[in-house]
Amino acid sequence: MNPAVKSFYRVYRPQNFDAVGGQEFVTKTLANQIATNKIGHAYLFCGTRGTGKTTVAKIFARAVNCEHFHDGKVCGQCAWCKSPNQNMDIFEIDAASNNGVDAVRDLVDSVKYPPVVGRYKVYIIDEVHMFSGSAFNALLKTLEEPPAHVIFILATTEPHKLLPTVQSRCLRFNFQNVALPDIIKVVQGVFKKEKLTADDAALTAIAKEGRGSVRDALSFADTVAAYCAGEPITVAKINQIVGGVDATVFARLVQQITAHDAAGVRKTVADIFAVATGADRLLTGVLDAIKDAYVTTPTPQLANTLKLFANLEPTLKYATDPHGYFETAALVACGAN
């Protein structure tokens, strides 16, 4: 298989609640509701992009229709689980591209017809905050008294944009940004299935690029896998993709600062800017190196250096000459005692 032509996120989208990374509270509560038959008719899934809202909505839609849902999993054997026509009862609407009142009127109209295959018709509305005011008004009454065979799952990255009347009609679940170890686990699982080799440092570097989103981490993993083309995945190769600087280069810079070696500092800063892209990655790299040095030998100079670079963040983000600012901070630190 050519890793460049498929997306890990789509291929390995979790099919059961327990396979969803980092949202245990949400998935356990939903599984319990199905198991105890205490299902709501309108849910609101809130959280930043790539945290699994749509994935969990799809799992819930299948789980709630399974005749023998057990232990957090669908049975895989019942008429529903075996049906090729599940999409006749599960509807996914993207409010960003269908935000007008007509789309909602069609939806409201279809709600009254019973499900075709399963027990429930599930309407998943992505980015629901994009609905126009009149579209929301058209939805409100149905949301208030949906037919017994209908479940709405409204997903949004911006819940504050929803009318209180909409919020109050829904059971709300907040999806958390996914913690780094959970993202690492997901990436590791995908690489294992793909028979790709990556060391721990590389896995961590890929997971960090997700910044709390499994989807973003896996999209980046797609790029890395394509770039490495079957060769072992390493931090050095990842750095080539993202314009990252190897940790040893930052460690060298900190050593030169400590040794008051101004010429060395200038040279290393030039090396860093020859490859570096992105102020945040640059600062994280240098701050990590200073922190590592401080832990081994805490000195006032290192404490000052840490402050100097930490204060540089807002400047570096918008500076037209980040190299100049970065070099000045390094030289000031170099001259300090």
Residues that bind Zn ion (CB under 5 A): 66, 74-75, 78, 81
CB nearer Zn ion, residue 66 or residue 269: 66
CB nearer Zn ion, residue 68 or residue 192: 68
Following DSSP, what letter does each residue of 75-98 receive, concatenated?
A: -S-SHHHH-TTGGGTEEEEETTTS
State the minimum distance, in angstroms, from the CB of residue 61 to Zn ion.
13
State the minimum distance, in angstroms, from the CB of residue 89 to Zn ion.
13
State the minimum distance, in angstroms, from the CB of residue 122 to Zn ion.
15
Angle between helices 279-296 and 300-310 (to 10 degrees): 170
State the minimum distance, in angstroms, from the CB of residue 121 to Zn ion.
17
Alpha helices (H) along the chain: 8-11, 24-35, 53-65, 79-82, 101-111, 133-144, 164-168, 180-193, 200-209, 214-228, 235-242, 247-258, 262-275, 279-296, 300-310, 313-318, 322-335
CB nearer Zn ion, residue 18 or residue 280: 18
- Provide φ and ψ at 2, rounded to 5°: -90, 115
CB nearer Zn ion, residue 56 or residue 306: 56
State the minimum distance, in angstroms, from the CB of residue 150 to Zn ion.
20
CB nearer Zn ion, residue 81 or residue 334: 81
